[in-house]
Amino acid sequence: MGQKLIVPVAAVLLAVSAGVAIWFLMSGDSPRPKPQEGNQQAESNKPDEPGPLQLNPADFDVSRIEADPVASERPPEVFKTPDAAMRLVVSGRVVTEDGVGLADAEVTFTGEQKLRDLHGVGYTDAGGNFTLLAWASRGATNASGERMGRLAAQAQDGRIAVGDSVSVVDSGTATMPDLVVRQGASLSGQVVTDAGMPAPGVQVTARSAGPVEVISLRGRTPTSARRQFVTSVTADETGRYEFKQLPVGGYALQAEGGYFGFNARIAEVDLTAARNEWLDLTLTAEHHVRGVVKDQAGNPVAGAVVRLIADKITPSGTADETATDGTSELRTFRGADRDAPRRFSDAARVQPLSGRRCVTDAAGRFGFSPVVEGEYTLATKLGEEEARLEGVGPDQPDYELQIAIKTSVSGTVRDAETGLPIESYDFRVMRGGDAKVTPFDRVSENGTFEYHPGGLYLAANPSLTDSVVRISAPGYAPEFISAGTLREGDARRDLDVSLKPLCDVSFDISHEGRKLDLEPVALLFDDRLAYEASSDELGLVRIPGAAPATYKVTVVLADGTILKGSLDVPARRNARLELKLS
């Protein structure tokens, strides 16, 4: 009985989703904002208002489409010397599924319940063994419950594991059960167009067929739970994509390629038995609106937001089936296998305009797919300049939007250590001449980083007052560069940026000629805790991915003695230093 209900329920859900998508497509953002005073404009005219369509500048803000990959983790309070008594020496072993010790794995101990303030990080030796110090980086609280804790580990190849929560005896030391790190699955491939050409910059999304074991080391407490898993990667300039260490299970893959189209047939792959698979994806340009944005000289304009606005939808083009409630199911765009039984939901595909806004790539290209039959307007706006093209329809030759570029800032992004161009990064033009970067500004590895050939960027028609450019890329500290006060018509081409790579820094700590083993170490910036670590049994401290800066270092010995020093982390990927405390 329950099985018979699956198809009707799915049909209803698809029909409702389609109806909502079409309603949004026809009506635009609702409710429509009223015209604002000053420079703000309404998104569009009211039905009875004559004149050209008015464009809302907010609809052409890149930050509203692509999430900011930079997040600030600045602690709200200054660092206070922790309680010297809150420390625990933890030892154990990290092994593979075959019981072999895993060398050089990063091990994290996290206290729970009564030990919730304790945290420690260490590294395994050649045999997979480790000893680390867990300590409280803030004043101890009167936590209730039992003395509990758990381990997490991350191998050099990206494998991660989280152990069970175990009881910790009240003795100052704890020996933990072996932590087993299991091999995840990997999936690679190439995205190509229907003509067989590589499709760069395509977003490939993998969705699990059902609940899988998902391990996360984000946040203070590592977690492991069975749940649905969705993740995305961006194909490189050759169309290559790669998913590393996926939870074992079955997956459906979708590819959204903007100018290059989308994969009409959702690809499926089973990563249960075979843990390493190759899967090519082919895009189609059917039911597609695409084109290029150029300036008055015919040069492509990158980073411009383009909107596809529906003027009139052709009823015959919206669906091939009609539900009993009068809404339509959008089955037109599922490919030749649309009636075949599927293990994955097509709900994500039931959007006649998967992105009504998109950002042009380095070649100025844009694309929308799938698009139902009808008449549309293409529009873009950069600063006070705008361009639009009416009478647009799907499956036509490339459209061209020409917009006037009166002011621009541009430059080259390079690696501060090697001097080589960095080609995948995010750049944003902001207001404010006092912008500066701190070690608390972290770049997410999962952000969207567009490909810029040769490391070149160009921002068109920026604000003329106190403009700053911020560049961010994974593995680097973000960087600001000031464009100053611009005048209309300026073309600044010298705003080059050097990104400082994050540093895997290690250093010995010593006092009066004696190395300090198993002692807590706090790195402070602006008197706030930037990194917490501890020395190992040889007095060595390791901090991966530290932002280049000068830090104050505080160490609190077991007897309560407070030692301090200063550490300069260089703009290099690796550095071995020595720190003398006094």
Superfamily of structural domain 503-580: Immunoglobulins (2.60.40.10)
pLDDT at 445 over 90: no
Provide the percentage of residues in the chain whose pLDDT is more than 70. Answer: 82
209-213, 218-222, 323-327, 540-544: range with lowest mean pLDDT = 323-327
DSSP state string for 467-500: EEEEEE-TTEE-EEEEEES--TT-EE----EEEE
The answer to whether 408-499 and 503-580 have equal CATH topology is yes
pLDDT band at 58 (very low <50, low <70, confident <90, very high): confident
Query: Computed from CA positions of residues 343, 348, 353, 357, in that sequence, does the dihedral angle turn out positive or negative?
Result: negative
**Encoded amino acid at 500, one letter:** K
Asked if residue 153 lies in contact with residue 107, where contact means CB atoms within 8 angstroms, the answer is yes
Residue of 429 and 533 predicted with greater confidence: 533
**Which pLDDT value is given to residue 224?**
87
Q: Which CATH architecture has domain 185-282?
A: Sandwich (2.60)
Q: Report the candidate in 386, 468, 398, 483 with the shortest Cα–Cα distance to residue 429.
A: 468
Predicted local distance difference test score (pLDDT) of residue 538? 93
* 232, pLDDT greater than 60: yes
Query: Could you tell me the pTM of the whole model?
Result: 0.81
Q: Which regions of 217-298 does DSSP assign to beta strands (E)?
A: 223-227, 230-234, 240-246, 250-256, 267-270, 276-278, 281-282, 289-294
- Domain 87-180 is classified in which CATH homologous superfamily? Aromatic compound dioxygenase (2.60.130.10)
Q: Which residue has the higher pLDDT, 547 or 5?
A: 547
The mean pLDDT value of the chain amounts to 83
Bridge partners of 468, per DSSP, are 430, 482
376 and 392 Cβ atoms separated by less than 8 Å? yes
Residue 117 is predicted with a pLDDT of 87
Q: What is the domain partition of the chain in residue ranges? A: 6-31+292-383, 87-180, 185-282, 408-499, 503-580
Average pLDDT over residues 302-326: 66
List of residues 6+ apart from 136 with CB closer than 8 A: 82, 83, 86, 87, 117, 118, 119
pLDDT (0 to 100) of residue 142: 66
337-355 pLDDT per residue, tens = 333 344 444 433 334 333 5
> Which is it for the CA torsion 185, 545, 433, 71, positive or negative?
positive
Q: Is the pLDDT of residue 128 over 60?
A: yes
Token digits for 39? 């420079």
pLDDT (tens digit per residue) in 217-228: 876 778 888 999
Query: Which CATH architecture group holds 408-499?
Result: Sandwich (2.60)
Q: How confident is the model at residue 546 (pLDDT cuts 50, 70, 90)?
A: very high
